[in-house]
Amino acid sequence: AALRGEWMRLQVSAALKEGHVTPTELCQRCLSLIKSTKFLNAYITVAEESALKQAEESEERYRRGQPLGVLDGIPIAVKDNFNTAGIETTCASNMLKGYISPYNATVVQKLLDQGAVLLGKTNLDEFAMGSGSTDGVFGPVRSPWSYSRQYKEKSVPKSHSEDEDSNWVITGGSSGGSAAAVSSFTCFAALGSDTGGSTRNPAAHCGVVGLKPTYGLISRHGLIPLVNSMDVPGILTRCVDDAAVVLGSLAGHDPKDSTTIQDNFKPFQLPNLTDVSKLSIGIPKEYHAPGLSSEILALWSKAADLFKNAGAKVIEVSLPHTRYSIVCYHVLCTAEVASNMARFDGLEYGHRSDINKSTESMYAATRREGFNDVVRGRILSGNYFLLKQNYENYFVKAQKVRRLIANDFAKVFGSGVDILLTPTTLSDAAPYTEFIKEDNRTRSAQDDILTQAANMAGLPAINVPTALSERGLPVGLQFIGRSFQEKQLLTVAKWFEKQVKFPMIQLEEVKRHDHGVFQHQKSASFS
């Protein structure tokens, strides 16, 4: 039964206000669930002590009848590439093992200022470079859906000897830990980061909502950078309404990030859309990409028909430069990575090699020991593209193509289209054993193909869980909106979410481990 939706809104927040559950109880239940789902490897660090302290402070505010807002007492998790004062920030790399930041990222601070309870830091690909959450130094994240009744009923072991445990599927990446945390009920919302799809991709594979806001709407201060011109903090929740609530508390100008908007941001409540007849939905033909599974193609068509039958105008549109975007993205991404990774030299913070024959040998050894092959490979590529003799041919050319890609979107939105509807991923989640047969670069090029263009153009985009595949795994569709038109984007996404009634995950393992906790967390949303 679909347990998401309207009748559930306000549930947890109302329960806290009315005293049916206290922030401390809620926090303890989540911490208990984190322990019983440890096998998912979703968290790198669990901040139990500070979380319980924050929950106690929240409880005191509720007792006085002065909660700070909807997020007060709500348990959240944060991807481990956001700085957190007093809690280790590792980026899932040997380079930053043991590093504790002296300050909070702006987004983390804003959540804490709203009374949210920070449970811990979630797992990722090393320095967020990857699309599977399989390449971090703390090991791969397992999708909670691997242990769901829906998947287990559909997946038949190839042989009796096949270990049930080898059948698990990946979460997608690079924010796989955050997506798994939300999907397995261990928290109500989580922060990811999104450079080429790193929030929307795992959201699609884990059956949760993943929002990448417009570039500049949310501060990047304290997010350890991958690609400065594309990185955006992402929001993962179990329903669209919750994503709007979290966005409302994070968006707006930050004096510490000069790329944020100057205007004040007014948080909004999402209206219940009843009439979609004034909407124009664009279907970009170029997103019918090679490798798109027939199942997702059918789902995409069905979703377009859903809008058409409800009275919306659905038109095929063209974004002609889409086919160049993944190559263009690769050049720009590696070039900025090469520049950003220069700060990890073993001098100021992070890992430092014992080899100290000379400064140069210490630098080289530190970076060899600290970074994995994926990170080193991207640094090498980036430095190659930035060489004096290559700069014009690669970097400058890629910047020009990026402008053409952004113009494609501007033309389509200028022609009266409100929202673009596309797939988020080419297929449902791959089993881990299949996924690791290809290298990170090949995988990222395939998995980012439908998502990275929104980063290049700086546009808002959201993954909405849509249906289960024949294998019993989640499949999502992506909506891309006009710049800074999050309200319209989320309103349409909410309407769609209501129509498709995505099924609730039935987590057999967790039920066995901790029946009482699971029952309480069943609510889809907190808002």
- At 39-65, the pLDDT tens digits run 999 999 999 999 999 999 999 999 999
Quick one: average pLDDT of 316-323? 96
Q: Is residue 351 part of a domain?
A: no
Quick one: average pLDDT of 232-250? 96
Model confidence at 158, in pLDDT bands (50, 70, 90)?
low
- Please report, rounded to a whole number, the percentage of residues in the chain having pLDDT higher than 90: 87
Q: Is residue 370 part of a domain?
A: no
198 is catalytic: yes
Cα separation of 208 and 169, whole Å? 16
Model confidence at 423, in pLDDT bands (50, 70, 90)?
very high
Model confidence at 520, in pLDDT bands (50, 70, 90)?
very low
Q: Is residue 2 part of a domain?
A: no
This prediction's pTM? 0.94
Q: Is residue 331 part of a domain?
A: no
Q: Is residue 511 part of a domain?
A: no
Cα separation of 150 and 380, whole Å? 43
DSSP state, residue 451: T
Query: For residue 174, is the peptide bond before it cis, meaning its omega torsion is within 30 degrees of 0?
Result: yes
| Sequence-distant (≥ 6) Cβ neighbours of residue 422 within 8 angstroms | 283, 284, 287, 300, 450, 477, 478, 480
Q: Does residue 10 surpass a pLDDT of 80?
A: no
258 is catalytic: no
Of 261-265, 305-309, 444-448, 469-473, where does mean pLDDT reach its minimum? 444-448
Q: Is residue 307 part of a domain?
A: yes
CATH number at 417 reads: 3.90.1300.10
Question: What confidence score (pLDDT) does residue 154 get?
Answer: 87
Cα separation of 276 and 299, whole Å? 20
Quick one: average pLDDT of 199-214? 98
H/E segment holding residue 324: helix 322-340
Q: Is residue 162 part of a domain?
A: no
Catalytic hit among 101, 148, 174, 193? 174
Of 19-28, 45-54, 124-133, 513-522, where does mean pLDDT reach its minimum? 513-522
Catalytic hit among 13, 131, 133, 198? 198
Catalytic hit among 36, 79, 184, 325? 79
* Structural domains in the chain (count): 1
Domain containing residue 222: 11-154+169-325+398-500
Residue type present at position 365: A
Q: Is residue 246 part of a domain?
A: yes
> Over the stretch 350-380, which tens digit does the pLDDT of each residue have?
999 999 899 999 999 999 999 999 999 999 9
Model confidence at 382, in pLDDT bands (50, 70, 90)?
very high
H/E segment holding residue 454: helix 452-457
How distant, in Å, are the alpha carbons of 289, 325, 378, 406, 513 from that of 286?
6, 11, 27, 15, 46
